[in-house]
Chains A and B, each alone.
Chain A
Amino acid sequence: MKDVEIVEINNNNYVILKEVKHKDTSYLYLSNLEDEEDTMIRKIKGDSIIPLASEEEFEIACNLLIKEGLI
């Protein structure tokens, strides 16, 4: 078993698969605990988890997965 942090969004529990810090922002890569194909990216603001602001920020967050050498 693996110990993971989860966050509730829209009544679903999402596992935090990866947290990547880029400049002053930390991005969270989430996967629905009940549905592996349900994924999303959020970012941390203070003690809250909020949606990304734009398409551009989404592309940056996707590219971070490559830059971070996730695979």
Chain B
Amino acid sequence: MDKYVYEKPADERLYEEMRRKSLQGEPVKRQKKRVKIDKKKFIRSMAVLVTVTVGVTLAGNQVYNNMSQAIQENALYGTLLDQYMEDVFYPATHHVDGTTNEIYLDYEALGDYIDSEADKKLAVSLTNSAIEAQNFTDDEDQMNRVLQETELGYDSYDQFLQNQKEKYSGYEDHSKFLKNTKTRLMNSANSNELDDMHEELSEENVLEDGGKNL
């Protein structure tokens, strides 16, 4: 089992760099120049953007408002992070050293998903986001307060979690979930190309082999 150490500062550093770069610089003309890039590279770029932006945003001072907003939109919770925690992070892939509190991530437990160092990096990044979400949602009083202030009709956090588990209970294993996550990222990146992408993925057997070829 490879040693894994929680890397919150790395995400925060990337977030700060993104914030700084977003606020400075000169206007440039939009040239509408196009290139072709590897799909895998595109997905990883999207994953970095999502995990850094969403993960740190949720973990920051605005966490209460953001999480409340996310729940209301039913966009974040119950999808990537929740399912990652439920299906991947908690049950099979981690071990906490009781003496040092260091976390060990079992890459083998991630199955076919891990086929390169870059995949490991992405898994670590997702795990970081999962920990951030876990830290927030472990506060039951806080989650109850959030849910009470939304209008989704949940009486309690337990009821909300049960609903989410039922909603996303179709995943049979980690690979299936991660494959689905990758497909979501890809499809969300350009919803207009959804059908074309799905067809391409099917042709490459990506949807049938757990994402090994993605």
Contacts of B48 in A (CB 8 A): 31, 36-37, 39
Shortest CB-to-CB span from B56 to chain A, Å, is 8
Contacts of B155 in A (CB 8 A): none
Interface residues of B in 177-203 (CB under 8 A from A): 181, 184-185, 188-189
Shortest CB-to-CB span from A62 to chain B, Å, is 5
Contacts of B18 in A (CB 8 A): 39-41
Contacts of B74 in A (CB 8 A): 69
Contacts of A9 in B (CB 8 A): 25, 28
Q: Which residue, A2, A36, A44, A59, has most C-beta atoms of chain B within 10 A?
A: A2
Q: Which residue, B24, B36, B41, has most C-beta atoms of chain A within 10 A?
A: B41
Contacts of B50 in A (CB 8 A): 65, 70-71
Contact B27–A49 (Cβ < 8 Å): yes
Asked if A67 meets B69 with Cβ closer than 8 Å, knowing A36-B45, A48-B27, A51-B22, the reply is yes
Instruction: Kindly report which residue of chain B lies nearest to residue A52, judged by CB atoms.
Output: B22
Bound-complex Cα distance A58 to B36 (A): 29
Shortest CB-to-CB span from A28 to chain B, Å, is 9
Instruction: Kindly report which residue of chain A lies nearest to residue B36, judged by CB atoms.
Output: A1
Residues of B within 8 A of A (CB): 14, 17-19, 21-25, 27-39, 41-42, 44-46, 48-50, 52-54, 57, 62, 66, 69-70, 73-76, 79-80, 181, 184-185, 188-189
The answer, among B29, B33, B75, for a CB contact under 8 Å with A66, is B75
10 further interface pairs, Cβ-Cβ under 8 Å (given A2-B36, A31-B48, A36-B41): A1-B37, A3-B35, A7-B28, A17-B45, A31-B49, A55-B23, A59-B57, A66-B70, A66-B75, A66-B76
Bound-complex Cα distance A3 to B53 (A): 24
Shortest CB-to-CB span from B83 to chain A, Å, is 10
Q: Mark A42-61, 1 if CB is under 8 A from B, else 0.
A: 10110111111111001101
**Range class of the A interface residue count:** 35 or more
Contact B34–A63 (Cβ < 8 Å): no
A24 in contact (CB, < 8 A): no
Shortest CB-to-CB span from B66 to chain A, Å, is 6
The answer, among B44, B45, B69, for a CB contact under 8 Å with A63, is B69
